[in-house]
Structure 1
Amino acid sequence: MTPEQLQDVVGTAVRAVVDRGALPVEVPREVVIERPRNPEHGDYATNVALRLAKPAGRPPREVAELLAAELRAHEGIASVDVAGPGFMNITLATGALGTIAVRAVTAGPSYGRTDTLAGQKLNLEFVSANPTGPVHIGGTRWAAVGDALGRLLEASGATVTREYYFNDAGAQIDRFALSLMAAAHGRPVPEDGYAGDYIAEIAQQVLAAEPGLLERPEDEQQERFRVRGVDLMFAEIKRTLADFGVVFDVYFSERTLHETGALDKAIARLRENGHVYEADGAVWLRTTDFGDDKDRPLIKSDGAPTYFAADCAYYQDKRDRGFDKVVIMLGADHAGYVGRYKALSAAVGDDPEVNLEILLGQLVNLVRDGEPVRMSKRAGTVVLLEDLVEAVGADAARYALARASVDQTIDLDLDLWSRRTNDNPVFYVQYAHARISSLLRNAADLGLTLGEADDVDVAALVHERENDLLRAIGEFPRVLTAAAELRAPHRVARYLEELAGTYHRFYDSCRVLPRGDEEVTSLTTARLWVCAATATVLRNGLAVLGVSAPERM
């Protein structure tokens, strides 16, 4: 019996007691089922009696005893003990946990998926670096976490569009073009320009495509370097991210907001809502009406639109495309951005608490031999995505970056994450999957198969280590749900490490394959199902993080 199935059983017991008039309360929409910290207290626990006691006007233990009597009659429950102020500790009947393994294996890739977020249409924007240089280590963290979050939200039933917004308009693009020109002419890069070997590389690619470019007027040169340079840089960004396993559904160009008139339409809509005014020759949005610390300019006194004006148009474009919620992932250096963006959402007529969500992430520091790693081969002092992948591999990089809560700064030890030992967390989890894959291959060589689900003798699974592992497998759907709702992919990684450890302890205590002339029993087959179920969860969990599950290591 899975935790979800037990939730239904407890909910049915509450409904039965209410229906016969023993409890004058409304049946709760959801029942909380948890694993006790002390295994001696049973397989699962619930506080539902405590929640119902006050509205029922009855002592919690009395309510608990009413519900416990109902639950004890269920064939899948061995015992229910009322503890403390009214908690119910539930021990499942022999073999009830074993059904978890059967369910996991038969569900396969869909095991763990739920519909808790079904009906939600989300736009998830992450990375979104300027197309003026390769993806750096900060963007790499968002690539790993953002892609994992998208997979998590989809696993919980949401419809997710991953979107990359590239700022291909504005002063930074002019500086980029001038930097390419300088490199092509062999001149020093402008003081406020972009440095790094990649600038010279792209400049040479532009010249190769347009051989006579340097003989043309400088304003024409700058335009060609801008157009071709941005295209080449962004193509490299997309290739690098794709090699990292991150592909976006939409790549949105800021320039289109200017070229299509979307920016003017967005400002007009805000003006119609009564939140735009003019002062000092500029056009302003009165964001202070919605909690911002100061009003924000939309059009500068020289007539040029601000970056915030483009943000206004972009947000409205997303909502016009039908997204219920706009989710944006930003670095911690953009914390000041939150207030103005919430004010923008409110000025449009949305509820910022419903239609907008901004996630802030901290920095990543790379260390090797205990010392900071700062230099990149191509970008001077900036560490790039490709530098990290070259150092530890894509799997380890993705896992390491997704393993920590985004509100924590990471000191990523390159020595640790490049090892093929159990102190490397991703190796530890992947090795557990490879170990099970090897065991299942050996079983096949002996002529042993899982057989039919209906024939599994789940009642044979009574060993403590078996039950520990089955309970852990049963938690997977709830881990995914909680991680999605809390926007916390790191919870999946930590769970997988715990599951791998639980499997290794099971394997050390419970013989799976027969030795020599040992007889093959129903327990042998049942334990094969437990192993296969563990592999299913490891595989599904790693897939959520965008990490492979090798069958051989």
Structure 2
Amino acid sequence: MTPADLSLTVLHAVRRAVDEGALLVDVPARVRVERPRGGGVGDYASSVALGLARPAGRSALDVAAILRERLRDSPGIRAVDITGPGFLNFTLDGDSDRRVVADVLAAGARYGYSDALASTRVRLFPADEPRAALLVETVVRLLRAQGADAAVAAGPGAERLAVVPAPADFRPDALGDDAARWALLRPAAHDHVLPGAPLLVQHERNALFRVRYAHARVRRLLHNAARLGFTPACAEHVDAPLLLSLLGDHPAVLLSAARLRAPDRVARQLEAVADALLAFQHTVLPLGDEKPSAAHRSRLALAEAAGTVLAGGLTLLGISAPDQI
């Protein structure tokens, strides 16, 4: 179960409670789930009960209890706990990690795409300044990936994106398209453009290099595994909580980036996935005389899923994902 799936499951529980008369509130448009904070338990948490308490005329603990009763037997959820003033905490079942990997591999580079914004029409005002023009182009791509009717068009109601312009001496032609895009998109729109020269250095301090190198490492792992006679398979649980968590959160990151017009969120997500993957990749292939096992096939599947997320995210930013570096 991905965070997006869990969010929908909780939303359905709210709707059931309203339909059954247990809660007299308007059903929210969406429910936010996130990693538990201090004092929380399990894999994810939601403050939805706190938000519904006042309009329902009930305490947050009462609302949380009502929702917990409607979430206990939901597929993919092993336990629902209530902590603090009324936070819902979810522990997912043991198969959820394998399902995340399977979902990524099934969706390919379109993992995280959705129809969440299918009823949304967005027109972004065209821009002449290079950074603003690139931001508009990329935001349209992100919105369309979430089902929105998005386009660049002038006219009444067209949305203008506020962005700090690129400096006058910024030279995209000297950087190449990939590095130039990263320099312009990686900082938040209200921050200054990244210096270009460091992005041309193949070094671990260069985040763009790490992201693209991590993708290339996955392609090499798959090649070497094939030479050893095995292929990826979601056969068993893999002990890589950070990487699995990042893959599970990816759809929510893409949706948030589209809603907030913030491609930098995608770039930061790719950096985190790349760093977790590079720390994990040494465990994937058998060592010495070790024979390939179900564990190796499962680790390879997780690595392939991570590489798939990197390739899809780079594509959304208009940046290439080479098989070799």
Give me the identity figure in percent.
41
- Contact 1:433/1:539, CA 8 A, preserved across alignment: yes
State how far apart, in whole Å, the 2-side matches of 1:122 and 1:70 are.
36
Quote how far apart the aligned CAs of 1:21 are: 4.2
SS at match of 1:149: helix
Higher normalized strand content (fraction of residues): 1
**Partner of residue 173, structure 2:** 389
SS at match of 1:356: coil
**Partner of residue 264, structure 1:** none
1:362 to 155, 161, 164: 164
The change in CA–CA distance for 1:418 and 1:38 in structure 2 (over 3 A counts) is farther
The change in CA–CA distance for 1:17 and 1:519 in structure 2 (over 3 A counts) is farther
- Contact 1:434/1:550, CA 8 A, preserved across alignment: yes
**Partner of residue 489, structure 1:** 263
The change in CA–CA distance for 1:77 and 1:415 in structure 2 (over 3 A counts) is same
Q: How does 1:311-322 map to 2 (within 5 A)?
A: 315=155
State how far apart, in whole Å, the 1-side matches of 2:14 and 2:259 are.
26
- The alignment's TM-score, normalised by the length of structure 2, stands at 0.90
SS at match of 2:188: coil
- Contact 2:124/2:159, CA 8 A, preserved across alignment: no
SS at match of 1:496: helix
**Partner of residue 130, structure 2:** 140
Quote how far apart the aligned CAs of 1:20 are: 4.5
Q: Are positions 1:550 and 2:314 aligned together?
A: no
SS at match of 2:85: coil
**Partner of residue 307, structure 2:** 535
**Partner of residue 214, structure 2:** 432
1:405 to 165, 172, 188: 188
State how far apart, in whole Å, the 2-side matches of 1:442 and 1:85 are.
52
State how far apart, in whole Å, the 2-side matches of 1:123 and 1:541 are.
23
The change in CA–CA distance for 1:114 and 1:74 in structure 2 (over 3 A counts) is closer
Q: How does 1:371-382 map to 2 (within 5 A)?
A: none
State how far apart, in whole Å, the 1-side matches of 2:29 and 2:123 are.
28
State how far apart, in whole Å, the 2-side matches of 1:63 and 1:145 are.
41
- Contact 1:47/1:86, CA 8 A, preserved across alignment: yes
- Contact 2:125/2:160, CA 8 A, preserved across alignment: no
The change in CA–CA distance for 1:425 and 1:37 in structure 2 (over 3 A counts) is farther
State how far apart, in whole Å, the 2-side matches of 1:24 and 1:147 are.
43
The change in CA–CA distance for 1:108 and 1:422 in structure 2 (over 3 A counts) is same
Q: Are positions 1:520 and 2:292 aligned together?
A: yes
- Which residue type is aligned with residue 307 of structure 2? A
- Contact 2:142/2:254, CA 8 A, preserved across alignment: yes
State how far apart, in whole Å, the 1-side matches of 2:122 and 2:21 are.
43
**Partner of residue 269, structure 1:** none
Q: How does 1:24-423 map to 2 (within 5 A)?
A: 24-37=24-37, 41-128=41-128, 139-162=129-152, 315=155, 345=156, 355-365=157-167, 383=169, 387-390=171-174, 392-410=175-193, 412-423=194-205
Quote how far apart the aligned CAs of 1:19 are: 4.6
State how far apart, in whole Å, the 1-side matches of 2:23 and 2:317 are.
45
**Partner of residue 6, structure 1:** 6
State how far apart, in whole Å, the 1-side matches of 2:186 and 2:78 are.
38
- Contact 1:416/1:424, CA 8 A, preserved across alignment: yes
The change in CA–CA distance for 1:29 and 1:364 in structure 2 (over 3 A counts) is closer
Across the aligned residues of Structure 1 and Structure 2, the Cα RMSD in angstroms comes to 2.4
Quote how far apart the aligned CAs of 1:383 are: 3.1
Per-residue deviation, residues 132-158 of structure 1 (Å, max 9, x unmatched): xxxxxxx33234323222211221223
Quote how far apart the aligned CAs of 1:127 are: 4.1
Q: Larger Rg: 1 or 2?
A: 1
Quote how far apart the aligned CAs of 1:122 are: 4.3
- Contact 1:94/1:462, CA 8 A, preserved across alignment: no
The change in CA–CA distance for 1:394 and 1:76 in structure 2 (over 3 A counts) is same
- Which residue type is aligned with residue 187 of structure 2? A
